[in-house]
Amino acid sequence: MDNFNGQFNVVKLENGLTFAYRNTDTQAIKGKFRIMSGISNEDSGEQGLSYLLERTIASSTPFDLSEDEENSLRFAYGTLKSLVSFDKTEYKLGFTPRETQSFLRYISSKIFNQDFSDKELINSEKSKVLKYMKMKKRDPLFIDELKFDEAFYGKESPFLKIDFGDEYVISSTNQEQLRDFHSRKYVGNNSQLILVGNLPKNIEDIVNESFSFISSGKSTQKCNFDLKNFSKKELKSLAPELLNPCNPVSSIAQLRLGIPFSNKFDRDYLISSIIKEILIRDDIPVSKKDLLERNKKIYNLNFQSESLCKGRIVLNSNITAFHANDSINYIFDEMRKIQEEPITEETLELLKRRSQFSFSNIFDSIDGKISAIELSLDDKVRIGNINEEIDSITINDFKKCTEKYLPNKRLDEKSVLLLRTPFQH
């Protein structure tokens, strides 16, 4: 049993499936069924099978149900959405308490009772995936972001794997290969079920009854993270679509800045939320002159939320293309100021309050409680009381964290920068 503003239980079925749940006084139940295998777990010759398999399951009818029966169960009892991420495949669930038993039986059938006998359906999904791949490979922003990731992690990093995989692998995959991939990845020891809501008292019995038939198999869960050879890089890409033809001087450029950061849910991660407040908020106490200077150079500066596993923070911003270099230097100067000009106790307290509100806003919802359970399962951390942890952050903690991670100047070996601009020079 673990704790976050209450308690949630963790139960291990005999076949290895992990079931974590928390009761709440709500009218709905939400959750996730997670296969702990994503694009980073694919071997050579399997690139893209996670995505193709997820798409095929979404479109297929389980072999123990008719199409009419599935439609009745799916649309009458709840919602089911699926996606493939870097290190897992997730099936998001939503249903009412009285449909718990029926819906979980349907979910277990939908995800596991697939024989992939419908060759026409599989070929249809392959065609859709291949079409999507071709579309993405023509997207200049997507291409530039891949170059950015390669510069950040290195050419051999699993983080560079594309969710939809390799065209040859997708086009040549047959029914037997898809069936074999499913039998190895979709197993008890590689699966987690998380439920939060107004759960029946016998929920453990219902889950055991619904999922006990799954074979045990082996876990393929992993999260590779290695930045030993990290080095500073600046990339520039010509983006003519950003040009304002009526007034070229007012054209924008797109800046993407990646900084290596903690890949754990620890104090440094909590401090990153305070750093974010300073960098992206325009109402932190600063002089009017500083505010005017900022607004001339930066538009829509934001942090990109990424998996903790990826070990970085990413800043995205639209900047003035005509003075891109000045705008970039301004952002680096802001990060230098955070390190060299200590914030006051009063400002730190204000920022901590904002940070506490942000986390409370996230974790107090049903989806947030699901996320809290995920953090405990994935990162082996006891989340405890986040408000107390943030309260204990001192100016010295903040200073150490900023000096450890933030670049002090543009030449520092602590960042990878991508500039997409409509101008050649």
Residue 262 · residue 310 · CB < 8 Å: no
Q: CA-based diameter of the chain, in Å? A: 69
Instruction: Look at residue 300 in the predicted model and tell me its pLDDT.
Output: 59
Instruction: Look at residue 243 in the predicted model and tell me its pLDDT.
Output: 94
Class of the CATH-defined domain 233-421: alpha beta
Give the residues across from 421 on adjacent strands: 238
Listed residue (136, 140, 53, 132) closest to 89, CA to CA: 53
| 295 CB neighbour count, 10 Å cutoff | 10
The size of the chain, in residues, is 425
Residue 18 · residue 32 · CB < 8 Å: no
Give the pTM: 0.84
Half-sphere exposure in the Cβ direction for 120 (13 Å, CA): 0
d(CA 62, CA 68): 11
DSSP string, 26-83: -S-EEEEEEES--GGG--TT-TTHHHHHHHHHHHPPPTTS-HHHHHHHHHHHEEEEEE
Handedness of CA 62, 63, 67, 69 (dihedral sign): negative
Please name the fold of domain 2-211.
Cytochrome Bc1 Complex; Chain A, domain 1 (3.30.830)
Give the residues across from 95 on adjacent strands: 29, 78
Q: Where in the chain is the domain with CATH 3.30.830.10?
A: 2-211, 233-421
d(CA 316, CA 252): 13
**Residue-by-residue pLDDT tens, the chain, 425 positions:** 444 445 689 999 999 999 999 999 888 999 999 999 888 888 888 989 999 999 999 998 888 888 777 777 766 667 889 999 888 999 999 999 999 999 999 999 999 999 999 999 999 999 999 998 889 888 999 999 989 988 998 887 767 766 568 899 999 999 999 999 999 999 999 999 999 999 999 999 999 999 999 999 988 876 555 666 788 899 999 999 999 999 998 899 999 999 998 877 788 888 988 888 787 765 554 444 454 455 555 655 666 656 666 788 898 888 889 889 988 988 898 889 889 887 889 989 999 998 888 877 777 889 988 988 888 887 665 656 778 889 999 999 999 999 999 998 888 888 999 999 999 87
Instruction: Look at residue 157 in the predicted model and tell me its pLDDT.
Output: 75
